[in-house]
Amino acid sequence: MHARYGGVVPELASRQHVEAMVPVLDQALDRAGCTLADIDAVAVTTGPGLAGALLVGANAAKAIAYARGLPLVAVNHLEGHLYAAWLADALSGEDAPAPRLPALCLIVSGGHTDLVLMTGHGRYRRLGETADDAAGEAFDKVARMIGLGFPGGPAIEELAGDTASALRLPRARLKRPYDFSFSGLKTKVLRLVRGEEGPVPAPPEIAAAFQEAVVDALVTKTLAAARDQAAAEVILVGGVAANSALRRSLTGRSPLPVRIPRPDLCTDNGAMIAACGWWRIQAGEAAALDVDVQPGLRIG
């Protein structure tokens, strides 16, 4: 739907949410082998995200909670990503190991690149964030520069393949040691593509060099923060966490245990919101039916 525009169109996304909401709920209940009568609570994302899409989900959740007399749990979308880290074991039928705390968490997606220290369930301290584009957004923009489709992350990863690029693209140096910036990297790629710095490198070489630069920046800062904060483990979540180069690099370079959801649980999904909602229910939390969405909601 959005590929032709090179990015998500908010109005189209909202309309598609309206059309898909009931069929998706029916499909989820059918796959779980249950009905609404078997549900004990309703968890819903209230932010961050596109306001229109958030409103569709929130209103559907409120309607179900009201009609069935169920508690409603408001979940931060970013926090939901963190709880995906414990889903792979649970969904495979194994007991998910308890979090090793404090945990240094890298949340990296199309809209967010955050370093967060998790000290307990619901307790977070944001250490760093992106100063401009999130990593996923940078992947999308560079993909367009070299003629690839949307979303850009999988396209760049596929094009890069096993290419060993001789290009050395810049890594930003910021005053805040745990912050990220990818604007200079994008500008460098644009100059290369335009031929402003000599012969234009082959697209696979550009893709490989760009991916290497992003992965190196993410992993280097994450491990530095984990060391400085005396973390017990490292957690990688978010859509970009599905990138195999990032997964390999963080796992290979980290002296600490690394927890990463399986790729299909890295992208946005309802299971992670339900998992986070379960923990909030255990803590006795519930939201009022007039809870509002917060498109700019942050974590920590």
pLDDT confidence of residue 89: 62
Residues 94-152 pLDDT 10s:
666 678 999 999 999 988 999 999 999 899 999 999 999 999 999 999 999 999 988 89
**204 upstream amide cis, omega within 30 of 0:** no
Q: Indicate whether 4 pLDDT > 90.
A: no
| CA–CA dist 84, 257 (Å, integer) | 16
Quickly state the pLDDT bin for 91 (edges 50, 70, 90): low
pLDDT confidence of residue 59: 97
> Looking at domain 98-263, does it have CATH number 3.30.420.40?
yes
Domain with CATH 3.30.420.40 in the chain: 3-83+268-282, 98-263
The gap between the terminal CA atoms of the chain, to the nearest Å, is 33
**Using an 8 Å Cβ cutoff, are 46 and 59 in contact?**
no
Residue 70's region, left for phi above 0, alpha for psi from -120 to 50, else beta, is beta
Percent of the chain past pLDDT 70, that is, above it, reads 96
Residues 166-210 pLDDT 10s:
899 999 989 999 999 999 999 999 999 999 999 999 999 999 999
Among residues 216, 289, 202, which one has the least CA distance to residue 249? 216
Quote the mean pLDDT of the chain.
Answer: 93
Question: In the CATH scheme, what architecture does the domain 3-83+268-282 have?
Answer: 2-Layer Sandwich (3.30)
| CA–CA dist 84, 125 (Å, integer) | 19
Which region among 34-38, 93-97, 109-113, 217-221 has the lowest average model confidence (pLDDT)? 93-97
